[in-house]
Structure 1
Amino acid sequence: MLATPVSAEPAPANVTLLPGWRMENGHHMAAIRVDLSDGWKTYWRAPGEGGIPPEIDWSQSSNVAGVTFHWPVPEVIRRDGMTTIGYEDELVLPVELVPARGGEAIHIDADVLVGICEEICVPLETGFDSVLPADLTAPDPVIERALAARPDTAAEAGVSAASCTREELSDGVRLTAQIDMPSLGGDELVVMEAANPAIWVSEAVASRGAEGALMAHADFVPPNARPFDIEGDEVRLTVIGAGRAVDIPGCDLSE
């Protein structure tokens, strides 16, 4: 049985699981595909103001020891004075699954929620009940194209340094990042994320400094709305501009 999605309520989007293939390293590369009707969009992992981030619960799956998402470069969508980050027409999100027992099939039993938006934004809930056999070895070109559309690494983009400073606020902390890297061109957007998904992070305010460094700051507010300690490796920076993105995993943090 291959990639049989549980039907969702009728909606202007169709969410399916592409079964993918078992890689030489023993991991399995599959993908979540969201096909959207004209005028609709879905969201990146950090969707911006008013967006709905995707939620995927794999806990009922079997023979799954780890899951890694390989997000393609998203679009920055500015409409009606709001900025969101996501995808129009289609999203193919590669999912790398690590089997607990190599050489055996993986059973996917997952609940999926994705946000879709036209004039208003609504959550679309669906699920997958699928078996991914170990003998699927032919790569899927649709997934391969999505993997090729990944952000650049910091090294590929010429990032020479990424540092952060921390300032306490009454309800959390403000981090200011300095990223030494060439311009991507266009209107660059910086996204700052916390490793802990319970921490709310504001939209970053970004600009190029006098010496050309990209500066950005954002507020990090935990559930108890109090100042807290955060390490540089608990922060993820993404720079988006001119159809490209750069993934920077962490920054050198000082007070």
Structure 2
Amino acid sequence: MTGNQLETGMRSILIVLSGLFGLTLPVQAGETPWQEHLDMLQTRLVTTSADMTNSDGKPLLAWEAKLAPGWKTYWRSPGEAGLPVRLSQDAAEIDILFPVPERFELFGLETYGYSHTVLLPFRPHSTNEAGITVSASFMVCKDICVPFDATYNLPASALGADFSPHDIRVDAWMKKVPEREGDAGAGLVIDSVRVTGPVGRQHVVVDARADAMLTAPDMLAEVNDMVHFGAPRIKITGDGRSARFVLSAMTGKKPMDLRGKQIRLTFIDGQGNAIERMLDLPAK
């Protein structure tokens, strides 16, 4: 048996033993200790192996949360209540690769976020010989809403290791992240977007299509923190691969004209595929 074969065999044994007996893998397993937050949730950072490092040399990490029953945390646009999860490094905000969220109702308000367990993938701004420090702020809600702050430290030895037991889990959550402009597109296309109705009672109408049949499609819309869109009215047309989404805009006490604004749309086909697109709403 070669040295590489022996090393691979030992890794496999460690993974099996850790699952059976709860053994702690060595530091290159790439995870910070769990942090407890008032019995509402636990959080930590996990790393992936060098195989998931991008062409810029940035490793793929994830913020992981295990929420107690009934507790929720939030997407980048939480809806009518809540605050989004935010990560930062050296006071600079990190771009989180947010997976498609769930829809919730909280105190009669519509919100978007995650329950049970969630991994939010991201890439740090930089790494150095001392490792990295990542700060997080997040809110959880159940009968009450509670904000938290946390700090996590990862040693350099945990970054870009040859092996991480978290690769499969992080990759599964990466598959839930909508494809952005320039990605393959997941067979989904947004054909048009327009604004109808008078200011204060405006709707955004989106026509979209897919390569396959649409099953339980959905559309999430974001303009800015002052605008909220509820669940869309959906009409599936043609051969079941096209749909029209009508999203009602709620802009609070001071009506806002959406025409000419930029909108971020997340189109979900109901079969595990989603895309995210930034579009300009027509000015007229």
> Is TM > 0.5 for Structure 1 vs Structure 2?
yes
SS of match in other structure, 1:142: helix
The structure-2 alpha-carbon separation of the partners of 1:24 and 1:178, relative to structure 1 and needing over 3 Å to count, comes to: closer
Distance in 2 between residues matched to 1:132 and 1:70, nearest whole Å = 22
Displacement of 1:30 = 0.6
Displacement of 1:237 = 0.7
Tell me, yes or no, if structure 1 residue 202 matches structure 2 residue 228.
Answer: yes
- Normalising by structure 1, we get a TM-score of 0.73
Contact 2:258 2:281 in 1 (8 A): no
Displacement of 1:12 = 1.5
Tell me, yes or no, if structure 1 residue 138 matches structure 2 residue 157.
Answer: no
More relative contact order in 1 or in 2 (CA 8 Å, sep 6+)?
1
Write the letter of the residue equivalent to 1:136.
A
The structure-2 alpha-carbon separation of the partners of 1:159 and 1:228, relative to structure 1 and needing over 3 Å to count, comes to: closer
Query: Which of the residues 264, 268, 274 maps onto 1:236?
Result: 264
Contact 2:35 2:42 in 1 (8 A): no
Query: Which of the residues 43, 47, 57 maps onto 1:19?
Result: 47
Q: Which runs of 5+ in 2 are unaligned?
A: 1-26, 238-242
- Where do 1:5-154 residues align within 5 Å? 7=35, 9-22=37-50, 23-25=53-55, 26-60=57-91, 67-78=94-105, 81-99=108-126, 104-105=128-129, 107-133=131-157, 135-139=160-164, 140-151=167-178
Distance in 2 between residues matched to 1:106 and 1:184, nearest whole Å = 48
Contact 2:191 2:208 in 1 (8 A): yes
Count how many residue pairs are aligned between Structure 1 and Structure 2.
Answer: 238
Write the letter of the residue equivalent to 2:234.
R
- Normalising by structure 2, we get a TM-score of 0.67
Contact 1:166 1:253 in 2 (8 A): no
Write the letter of the residue equivalent to 1:250.
M
Distance in 2 between residues matched to 1:60 and 1:208, nearest whole Å = 41
The structure-2 alpha-carbon separation of the partners of 1:40 and 1:215, relative to structure 1 and needing over 3 Å to count, comes to: same
SS of match in other structure, 1:87: strand
Name which of structure 1's ranges 203-212 and 134-143 shifts more when overlaid on structure 2.
203-212
Displacement of 1:76 = 1.7
- CA RMSD, Structure 1 to Structure 2 (Å): 3.7
Larger strand fraction of residues: 1
Is the radius of gyration larger for structure 1 or structure 2?
2
Distance in 2 between residues matched to 1:166 and 1:213, nearest whole Å = 14
Contact 2:264 2:277 in 1 (8 A): yes
Contact 1:3 1:129 in 2 (8 A): no
Name which of structure 1's ranges 243-252 and 33-42 shifts more when overlaid on structure 2.
243-252
- Alignment deviations for residues 147-180 of structure 1 (CA, whole Å, 9 cap, x no partner): 123235683243251323388848xx95624232
Q: Could you tell me which residue of structure 2 aligns to residue 250 of structure 1?
A: 278
Q: Identity over aligned residues, as a percent?
A: 20
Q: Which runs of 5+ in 1 are unaligned?
A: none
Q: Could you tell me which residue of structure 2 aligns to residue 176 of structure 1?
A: 204
Contact 1:31 1:93 in 2 (8 A): yes
The structure-2 alpha-carbon separation of the partners of 1:214 and 1:228, relative to structure 1 and needing over 3 Å to count, comes to: closer
Contact 1:5 1:127 in 2 (8 A): no
Displacement of 1:93 = 0.6
Displacement of 1:245 = 5.8
Distance in 2 between residues matched to 1:106 and 1:181, nearest whole Å = 48
Distance in 1 between residues matched to 2:49 and 2:95, nearest whole Å = 15
Displacement of 1:209 = 5.1
Query: Which of the residues 134, 151, 159 maps onto 2:189?
Result: 159
